[in-house]
Amino acid sequence: MPLSPPKARRHLHTRTIELTGYYRDDGLFDIEAHIVDRKTYSYDSQWRGVVASGHPVHDMSLRLSVDGDLVVREVEAVMDVQPYTICSEVLDNFQRLVGLSIAKGFKQSLRERLGGIEGCTHVIGLLEAMGAAALQTFSSATHAPRPAGEPKPVHVWKIDALIDTCYAYRRDGPMLEERARRARSGRLVPSSQLRQCLCLVRRLDSRRRPLAGEREVVVAFPVVLDPRHTSSQVPCFQCSAPL
């Protein structure tokens, strides 16, 4: 449903942000971001002269290359248009992101490494959005259709990382209740029990996400099972062996 009709107004500014996720042939994930700011009017700039209506005020791009453990391995940052010529002098600082995890605490780590005079306000905002886009990309890598003949990835759903993070995933809400119901029916098993199943391609560390390209073995959800439903009664989703 669209927004309600606005009151009479005048368009002044447009900020466009585009975030895109890719899976690379070498096993890394590329998260790319592009931000552009434009004014609807021309204005005089002490540093740039006359900036015409519609011409970018900011035009900046970023690429984070992340591995399957959510760790940044490569960073590239460019500023095609910036308000001041000195803005691009901070670009080398963004290499400090290499080795940083984009999992929990990512925003705080960004501020510590690139906050204040060490970075750019607009790029920091872009990086925060890229963290969320990266998580969506990882999810897409395990659920997107696969080319014919290509093995499917492992599906491991870690609901404990989502509990109480938003309204839909609140602890007492219907989404988690549905997962618990499916677990009690044997359709889902706790991730803590996955490593006991012999049909797994490899042992799964509970802290590690499966890498794209691995075949689908089991669908798991680390939920608390009904006490009457013991672990010996829970079958493996793939081979039906008791866990």
What is the DSSP secondary-structure string of 208-242?
Answer: SPPPTTSPP--EE---PPPTTS-GGGPBPTTT--B
Residue type, 30: D
Paired residues of 44 in beta bridges: 50
Cα separation values, 110 from 66, 69, 121, Å: 15, 18, 11
What percent of the chain shows pLDDT beyond 90? 42
Please state at what angle helix 106-114 crosses helix 121-143, rounded to 10 degrees.
150
Between 188 and 123, the more confident residue is 123
Tokens encoding 225: 């099972």
Query: Among residues 30, 34, 37, which one has the least CA distance to residue 54?
Result: 37
**Lowest-pLDDT choice from 19-23, 72-76, 176-180, 226-230:** 226-230
For residue 213, pLDDT beyond 50: no
pLDDT at 156: 52
